[in-house]
Amino acid sequence: MTVHIGAQTGDFAKTVLMPGDPLRAKFIAERYLANASKVTEVRGMMGYTGTYKGKKISVMGSGMGMPSMGIYSYELYTEYDVDNIIRIGSCGSFQEDVKVRDIVFAMGACTNSNFASQYGLPGTFSPIADYGLLSRSVEIANTKNIPIKVGNALSSDIFYDDNPKAWEKWSKMGVMVVEMEAAALYMNAARLNKNALAILTVSDSLVTGELTTAQEREKTFTDMMEIALELA
């Protein structure tokens, strides 16, 4: 049992799906998992374990930002014997051809965070997804005829940037989308010899200004959820 999660040993499956929003975790558990039971709700960060097509799977919120993801993913990997964490989150588009509701697999996660400084590396670390999870998820999407994009994401510590045009510099480097958790997840997985992948649905566009509502992000990004469930 950990102070941030509070579940018992064995409460989590080997694979955990992690939306940022705990209400999305609740929605997934109630809609897709059989015999789902709530295993944690410390600080309102709800987590559930059940079965999907006979396979034990867990789903739990991560909260917003890399410190929150860093805490929860670390504890799941080290204290609950979790091997795979699949982030299923929302993101903002940096590119004209990446539209609202498009699904993006984050092959890499650039960041403006100081998260990697803890490792004392003599250079810059590039957080990347697990290739096995990434390649399998592409196969699943293709089988389901769900269009996807694969590329680089930015994991940002900043939501309200004092420079509203800062995103354009990342866009020029081909970075597809911005979110706030994947880099910390990928670094924890690398350091602990575990596996991680971020599957993202575009909720808004910095290019066009289009955006979705909180309720839409909670309950309508089902293609992303179903790819992750099949992957798990």
Question: Which residues contribute to the annotated binding site for a purine D-ribonucleoside?
Answer: 4, 179-181, 203-204
Q: Which is catalytic among the residues 11, 102, 130, 204?
A: 204
Q: What angle do CA 72, 178, 118 make, to 5 degrees?
A: 45
**Whole-angstrom distance, CA of residue 12 vs CA of residue 5:** 11
CA atoms within 13 A on the CB side of 210: 14
Binding-site annotation: residue ranges? 4, 20, 24, 43, 87-90, 179-181, 203-204
Residue 120 to residue 7: CA distance in whole angstroms? 32
- Do 137 and 231 touch, CB atoms closer than 8 A? yes
Kindly provide the residue ranges of all beta strands, DSSP E only, lying in the chain, ordered along the sequence. 15-18, 34-40, 47-52, 55-60, 84-93, 103-111, 148-155, 177-179, 195-205
**Token reading at 43:** 């600080």
Please report, in range form, the residues annotated as the binding site for phosphate: 20, 24, 43, 87-90
**Both tokens of residue 211?**
């955006």
The answer to whether residue 204 is catalytic is yes
Chain centroid to Cα 3, Å, comes to 22
Which bin fits 56, alpha (ψ -120 to 50), beta or left (φ > 0)?
beta
Per the CB < 8 A criterion, the answer to whether 59 and 29 are in contact is yes
Catalytic residues: 204
